[in-house]
């Protein structure tokens, strides 16, 4: 037996456990001496089994009563580029989105965790240093229910034809987090989507900008 199996067990409980198990074994031996082999063996096995289970009960209880860790049912796809028009003549947008789906109905939230820029052959942090709650496509809300096996896309940021700003798809973006692009700029964005059950998945992708406002290539990293 393990010497530390019952370090925290009260001494009295161990004594009582031993007495009960010892009595069961004595009864079994008595039956064996009287020729009742089957009955005697059952008492002895019961005594030994009860002693083992009782002695290691704290460990058994902790394993049996332990709740399984929640398993994530989220599935995230690679980032996609989606063009859209606006109600302003001549103003167009290009969205970068993350597809997401789940096997059961889950309430989900998406966040932009960080943005890095490729400078001098290394990734350098930008002023985007706090999580931003991102809006889901079409509904423009940070939290929504994902229905079973139905893809929905999370907006990460969008570009507009009137400039080179990187517009994060969030209702609240501090001015200090404003970013813009120049030709050949490369950014890395880290996004997390979490459900209401405590499960989450993350995806990082690289965005490479070209000469025109809508020249952008995205690649999961």
Query: Domain range holding 211?
Result: 74-220
Rounded Cα distance between 103 and 74, Å, is 7
What's the pLDDT tens digit per position in 85-99? 999 999 999 999 999
Rounded Cα distance between 135 and 170, Å, is 6
2 domain-assigned: no
Which of the listed residues 64, 91, 107 is the one where a domain comes to its end?
64
E-only strand ranges, the chain: 74-76, 80-85, 92-102, 106-119, 122-125, 132-134, 143-146, 152-160, 165-168, 179-180, 186-195, 200-209, 216-220
**Whether 150 and 48 share a structural domain:** no
Instruction: Pick the closest to residue 126 from 80, 78, 74, 179 (CA basis).
Output: 179
- pLDDT tens string, the chain, 221 residues long: the values are 444 444 455 655 556 666 766 777 777 677 777 777 777 677 777 767 766 766 666 666 666 655 544 556 889 999 999 999 999 999 999 999 999 999 999 999 999 999 999 999 999 999 998 999 999 999 999 999 999 999 999 999 999 999 999 999 999 999 999 999 999 999 999 999 999 888 899 999 999 999 999 999 999 99
93 domain-assigned: yes
87 domain-assigned: yes
Name the domain count of the chain: 2
**Whether 121 and 19 share a structural domain:** no
Place of tokens 């096996």: 149
- What was the pLDDT predicted at 164? 97
Other beta carbons within 10 angstroms of residue 55's beta carbon come to 19
**Whether 90 and 185 share a structural domain:** yes
Instruction: Pick the closest to residue 181 from 221, 131, 217 (CA basis).
Output: 217
**Whether 196 and 99 share a structural domain:** yes
**Whether 82 and 176 share a structural domain:** yes
**Whether 17 and 123 share a structural domain:** no
Rounded Cα distance between 110 and 6, Å, is 46
């Amino acid at each position: 037996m393990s010497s530390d199996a019952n370090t925290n067990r009260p001494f009295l409980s161990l004594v009582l456990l031993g007495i009960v198990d010892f009595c069961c074994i004595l009864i079994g031996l008595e039956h064996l001496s009287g020729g009742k082999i089957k009955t005697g063996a059952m008492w002895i096995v019961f005594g030994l089994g009860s002693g083992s289970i009782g002695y290691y009960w704290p460990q058994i209880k902790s394993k049996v009563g332990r709740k399984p860790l929640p398993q994530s049912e989220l599935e995230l796809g690679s980032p996609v580029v989606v063009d859209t028009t606006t109600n302003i003549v001549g103003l167009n947008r290009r969205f970068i989105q993350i597809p997401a789906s789940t096997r059961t109905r889950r309430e989900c939230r998406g966040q932009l965790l960080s943005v890095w820029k490729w400078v001098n052959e290394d990734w350098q942090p930008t002023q985007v240093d706090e999580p931003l709650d991102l809006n889901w496509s079409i509904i423009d809300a940070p939290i929504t229910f994902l229905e079973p096996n139905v893809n929905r896309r999370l907006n990460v940021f969008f570009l507009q034809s009137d400039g080179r700003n990187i517009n994060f798809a969030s209702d609240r973006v501090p001015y200090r987090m404003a970013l813009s692009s120049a030709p050949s700029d490369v950014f890395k964005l880290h996004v997390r989507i979490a459900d209401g059950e405590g499960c989450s998945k993350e995806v990082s992708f690289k965005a490479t900008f070209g000469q025109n406002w809508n020249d952008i290539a995205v690649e999961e990293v």
